[in-house]
Structure 1
Amino acid sequence: IEDEPRSGRPRTASTERNKGRVDEIIQDDRGVTVDTIIRKLGVGHSAVQEMIESLGCKKHCARLVLRLLTEDHKDERKANTSELLQRYRHEAANVMGTVVWDAEGFILAEFLEPGQTINAARYVQTLHKLRRALRDKRPGRNIIILHDNARPHAARLTSEAIAKMGWEVLLHPSYSPDLAPSDYHLFGFVNDQLRGQRFETREAIEKAVRQCLRRAGTEFYRRGIFKLPERWEKCVQRSGDYVEK
Structure 2
Amino acid sequence: MSGDFHLSSSERIEIVKWYAIHENAAEVARQFQYRYDQTPPSRKHILNLVRKFDETGSAQDAIISGRPRSVNTEENKERVRAAFQENPTTSSRRAALELNLSRTSLQRMMKELGLKPYRPQLLHALHDDDPDRRCEFAEIFLNLVDDDPSLLDRIFWTDESTFKLNGHVNRHNCVYYATENPHIVISQVMNAPGVIVWAGIWSGGIIGPFFFHDTVTAESYLEKLNDEIFPAIENRMNLEETFYMHDGAPPHYAQPVRQFLHETFPDRWIGRRAPIEWPVRSPDLTSTDFFLWPMIKDSFYVTKPENIHALKDAITTEMQRLPEDLCRRACQSVSKGLQLCKNLQDENIEQYL
> Normalising by the residue count of structure 2, what TM-score does the alignment of the two structures yield?
0.49
CA shift, 1:58, in A, is 3.9
Q: In the alignment, is residue 219 of structure 1 matched against residue 325 of structure 2?
A: yes
* Alignment partners' CA distance in 1, 2:287 and 2:294: 11
* Cα contact 2:209–2:316 (8 A) shared by 1: yes
Once the two structures are superposed, the pairs formed by residues 1-80 of structure 1 within 5 Å of their partners are 58=119, 64-66=123-125, 69-80=126-137
RCO higher in 1 or 2 (8 Å CA, sep ≥ 6)? 1
Out of 120, 133, 140, the position equivalent to 1:83 is 140
**1:103/1:225 contact within 8 Å kept:** yes
Alignment-mate amino acid for residue 123 of structure 1? Y
Q: What SS is found at the alignment partner of 1:192?
A: helix
- Give the conservation status (yes or no) of the 8 Å contact 2:207–2:232: yes
2:312 counterpart (200, 203, 206): 206
The CA distance in 1 between the partners of 2:263 and 2:235, in whole Å, is: 19
Q: Is the contact between residue 244 and residue 265 of structure 2 (CA under 8 Å) also seen in structure 1?
A: no
Report the aligned-residue RMSD. 2.0
**Partner of 1:209: helix, strand, or coil?**
helix
Shift of 1:155: 1.8
CA contact (8 A) 2:134 2:341 kept: yes
Please report how far the alpha carbon of residue 233 of structure 1 lies from its aligned counterpart in structure 2 after TM superposition: 0.6
Aligned to 2:229: 130
| Residue 121 (structure 1) aligned with residue 219 (structure 2) | yes
Return the offset for 1:122.
1.0
Aligned partners of 2:127 and 2:238: how far apart in 1? 42
2:338 to 228, 232, 235: 232
Kindly tell me: are residues 72 and 98 of structure 1, through their superposed partners in 2, closer, same or farther at Cα, counting changes over 3 Å?
Answer: same
The 1:84/1:140 distance shift into structure 2, 3 A limit, reads: closer
Query: CA–CA distance in 1 between the matches of 2:250 and 2:301?
Result: 30
- With over 3 angstroms needed to count, the CA separation of the structure-2 counterparts of 1:140 and 1:177, relative to structure 1, is closer
TM-score, with structure 1 as normaliser = 0.69
Deviation, 1:239, is 2.2
The equivalent residue for 1:40 is: none
Distance 1:163 1:221, change over 3 A: same
Q: Distance in 2 between matches of 1:234 and 1:140?
A: 30
Q: Determine if contact 1:58/1:64 at 8 Å carries over to the other structure.
A: yes
Which of structure 1's runs of 4+ aligned residues deviate more than 3 A? 57-60
Q: Which amino acid aligns with 2:242?
A: I
Please report how far the alpha carbon of residue 130 of structure 1 lies from its aligned counterpart in structure 2 after TM superposition: 1.3
Partner-residue secondary structure (3-state), 2:136: helix
Deviation at 1:142, TM superposition (A): 2.1
Structure 1 residue 240: Cα displacement: 4.5
Residue 155 of structure 1 is matched in structure 2 by: 254
**Alpha carbons of 1:121 and 1:58: their partners in 2 closer, same or farther (altered >3 Å)?**
farther
CA contact (8 A) 2:285 2:338 kept: yes
Q: Which amino acid aligns with 1:64?
A: L
CA contact (8 A) 1:199 1:205 kept: yes
Percent sequence identity over aligned pairs: 19
Secondary structure at the counterpart of residue 82 of structure 1: helix
Tell me: CA distance 1:215–1:59, structure 2 relative to 1, closer, same or farther (3 Å).
Answer: farther
Query: How far did 1:64 drift?
Result: 2.4
Give 1:166 deviation, angstroms: 2.9
Match of 1:166 among 258, 261, 265: 265
